[in-house]
Structure 1
Amino acid sequence: MKILLIDDEEMSLDFNEIMLKELGGVEVVGKFTNPYFTLEQLEVMDVDVIFLDMEMGAVNGLELAEIIKSKYSHIEIMFVTAHAQYALQAFEVNAVDYLLKPLNKKRLKRAIERMQEKLDLYKQSKKKVAFKEVNFYMKTFGGFHLLDNQKNIVKWRTKKVKELFLFLWQHNGAPVHKAIVMEQLWPDIHAEKAAKLLHTTVYQLRKTFKEQGIEDAVQFNNEHYSLGLLVDSDCTVLEGLLKDNKMESSEVEQILTLYKGDFLEEADFRWVTPIQQRLRQSVLQYLEQIISVGEVNLLLIEECLLKMYEVDCYNETYMYNLLAFYEHMGSSQKMKEFYKMIEARLGDDLGIEVPIKIKKSYGHFVE
């Protein structure tokens, strides 16, 4: 395990290095008192874990941890500090542990052992995945299916086999404790029976991919399950586009094409809803930004407005904006057709009338 030490006190750095060397099995690859210099050196250093102080003059350890994790997601952070009050915030930036100064040898040993277990899990997973080609592509919006490299749809033995695959996949290769899997997939079943169902489902999932030529598609280490294969998906592509936040027409068109409906919209899995809501909101925010900037052609703006209404068809603002767009373009026929659609949908689905603001806008147009 390669460890880097960051602290604004030389004495603390030396003490921590001595403690770590006494434990054995670790290598201190560097000690820095300057956090900014550390960020430069990380580009050329091989580091598994960073021991990080919380308060270093004007530099806050939490902020530095966020920067490090955003650029080097594989590096683990372990805070070593005299300030106990930051413990909760430390774990919010995915720190693996929070040790108080001066270091206690017994406590440090336990922390290093747990850290080594986590690193071993990660390296085993990466090693197995590295030798597998990306043979699968998954469509998750507006319905779900998994395609093999021959474009054939993978068939699932049971609904739970499919759900287990999706639940492990959406963790992006990270190991998931079996208790969490059982809680999410079999929430109302006694633990002993849920464990049996989990073992059966894992067996069936492994068998499904073994027929595709993939051995050990589901890996199990230290009570944790992880998916041992790579899968491309429309969801991965969409999230990448949203993260880039580019406003060019080609990106907008790609997002509109990809987002055909909610993520796994036909699934009734309990863990899916928060993901659906997050993705839906991200898409709507992106489209709202496109509309406000207005640097794409009018046809594309219309497509964005239609997609926003399609995603959230009871949103009064989206109704009004699309009507206003048709009025601005002088498209009287489209405006009339859309108003009738609003009127019918609100009346049939909710038993309510068209909002006053929209009535007035439409009335002004047809007068």
Structure 2
Amino acid sequence: MMILNDREIVQKNLINNNEINRGYTMRVLLIDDEKLALDILTFNLNKIEGIEIIGAYSDPHAAIRDLASIQVDAIFIDMEMGEFHGIDLAESILADYSHTEVIFVTAHSQFALEAFEVNAIDYLLKPVSLERLKKAISKTQDKLDLYHAGLGTSSKRNQVLYIYTMNNFLLIDLQENEVKWRTRKVKELFVYLWHHREAPVHKIRLLEELWPEMEAPKATSLLHTTVYLLRKKLKEIGVDNSVSLLNDRYLLTVPIDSDVMEIEKFIQAKDVNPSSIKRLLELYRGDYLEENDYVWGTQFRHWLKQSVLNYFEQFIELSHAHKEPDILVEKCLEKMLRLDMYNERYMYEYIDYLGRINNIKKMKDLYSWICETIEGDLGTEIPILIIDLYKYYLNKKSDGTNTYYSS
């Protein structure tokens, strides 16, 4: 490790800076396996007003043990300490003390991206000047000010982002503006983590899904960069601590409402009624992430579509007893055919509905479309059941039956 000599320490301490004074004392803990490094950091921190050093540990085990019985606002951690790596140590500490801020102090610059992945508030390279140390303390105290005032993460999470997923993905921020993404991969990483909701995703799975054809070292580097950019983007729209990392698993910790979550609630409730049908018709503007074409979303996309179709089918079944026109029934049948345009059963049911309410003009238009679809697109014959049903209602019309309405 790089260590300041005594003359450099004296020169640094002679720098005249405005002292930080927030009206309260920030309690800090220091962890570094080299005693000299601890002494230097202690010496500099004692020059900053409003700092109380609770302990300086060269043994990470002892620091973890004592954390259970002391109150700490921030921890300064070295990066490489024998069997302990600073990233792993910070990850372990933050899992139990999530409101503690971590500041890395190290001679190694190559771990900076990984440091910010565990939500470190700063990354200091040795030798650390008093000026740079004060900036890190000021940044940390700004964060603590928000937390103690109740305006930090816990407060922001009472506000909710909104996601549109049906047909195309769209994220709406807290000011109801569309979020613009720096790269497609940053957007896809966000969607992927949100798609899995509150289930942590192992980094190996992320590499396989988002960078399937790339060599592991390069893909890992891109993952770190993409996570960093994602956190940065979410912070820009007012969301802190958005992505957590624990045991090589990433978790999106952002409160979000979405159209698909509302759809799932209808499906799970199994209470088929006109109100829920009307809302489903509004929400289901297209298949889940259809235009984004994320391969990893295919299975859920198919499941969701089939679940919604089943929901519509239940409503149609309940409505068979009604002979009068029902605009919701018709909209359901139209939607069902748009979602599954080669489904012969849906074609039959739509013709049957139009025939029963005596809307012959629209039935003829539908039959023409069926002919084009089945004979033109598929090159097959129209099912005899559909032909017979169509002819049946045409014959009823020729008998002089009155229509309820025409389109």
**TM-score, L = length of structure 2:** 0.57
1:248 and 2:273 aligned: yes
Pairing partner for 2:263 from 235, 238, 244: 238
Provide the C-alpha distance between the structure 2 equivalents of 1:225 and 1:169, rounded to a whole number of angstroms.
11
> How big is the shift at 1:130?
4.6
Pairing partner for 2:185 from 160, 166, 171: 160
Report the equivalent of 1:226.
251
Provide the C-alpha distance between the structure 1 equivalents of 2:373 and 2:188, rounded to a whole number of angstroms.
33
> How big is the shift at 1:356?
2.3
Structure 1's consecutive aligned runs of 4 or more residues displaced over 6 angstroms after TM superposition are none
> How big is the shift at 1:277?
0.8
Report the equivalent of 1:331.
359
Report the equivalent of 2:303.
278
Counterpart amino acid of residue 329 in structure 2: I
> How big is the shift at 1:196?
1.0
Counterpart amino acid of residue 378 in structure 2: L
Report the equivalent of 2:232.
207
Report the equivalent of 2:394.
366
> Percentage identity across aligned positions?
41
Counterpart amino acid of residue 179 in structure 1: I
Contact 1:242 1:283 in 2 (8 A): yes
3-state secondary structure, aligned to 1:250: helix
Pairing partner for 1:349 from 377, 381, 391: 377
Provide the C-alpha distance between the structure 2 equivalents of 1:304 and 1:325, rounded to a whole number of angstroms.
11
Report the equivalent of 1:194.
219
Contact 2:281 2:332 in 1 (8 A): yes
Contact 2:312 2:336 in 1 (8 A): yes
Contact 1:129 1:229 in 2 (8 A): no
> How big is the shift at 1:291?
1.3
> How big is the shift at 1:148?
1.1
CA distance change for structure 1 residues 241 and 357 in 2, over 3 Å: closer, same or farther? same
1:313 and 2:338 aligned: no
Provide the C-alpha distance between the structure 2 equivalents of 1:122 and 1:264, rounded to a whole number of angstroms.
36
> How big is the shift at 1:353?
3.5
The count of aligned residue pairs is: 250
Contact 2:174 2:237 in 1 (8 A): no
Report the equivalent of 1:85.
none
Pairing partner for 1:148 from 173, 198, 208: 173
Equivalent runs, 1:92-103 vs 2, <5 Å: none
> How big is the shift at 1:146?
0.8
CA distance change for structure 1 residues 285 and 129 in 2, over 3 Å: closer, same or farther? farther
Deviations 1:11-46 (A, max 9, x none): xxxxxxxxxxxxxx9xxxxxxxxxxxxxxxxxxxxx
> How big is the shift at 1:316?
0.4
Provide the C-alpha distance between the structure 2 equivalents of 1:229 and 1:305, rounded to a whole number of angstroms.
37
Provide the C-alpha distance between the structure 1 equivalents of 2:332 and 2:163, rounded to a whole number of angstroms.
25
Equivalent runs, 1:260-279 vs 2, <5 Å: 260-279=285-304
CA RMSD, aligned part only? Answer: 2.6
Answer with 1 or 2: which has the greater Rg.
Answer: 2
1:180 and 2:180 aligned: no
CA distance change for structure 1 residues 124 and 179 in 2, over 3 Å: closer, same or farther? farther
Provide the C-alpha distance between the structure 2 equivalents of 1:154 and 1:133, rounded to a whole number of angstroms.
19
Contact 1:234 1:258 in 2 (8 A): yes
Provide the C-alpha distance between the structure 2 equivalents of 1:239 and 1:359, rounded to a whole number of angstroms.
37
Counterpart amino acid of residue 180 in structure 2: K
Deviations 1:254-278 (A, max 9, x none): 1111111110011221210001011
Counterpart amino acid of residue 237 in structure 1: E
Contact 1:218 1:228 in 2 (8 A): yes
CA distance change for structure 1 residues 365 and 246 in 2, over 3 Å: closer, same or farther? same
Gaps of 5+ in 1: 1-24, 26-116
**TM-score, L = length of structure 1:** 0.63
Equivalent runs, 1:67-86 vs 2, <5 Å: none
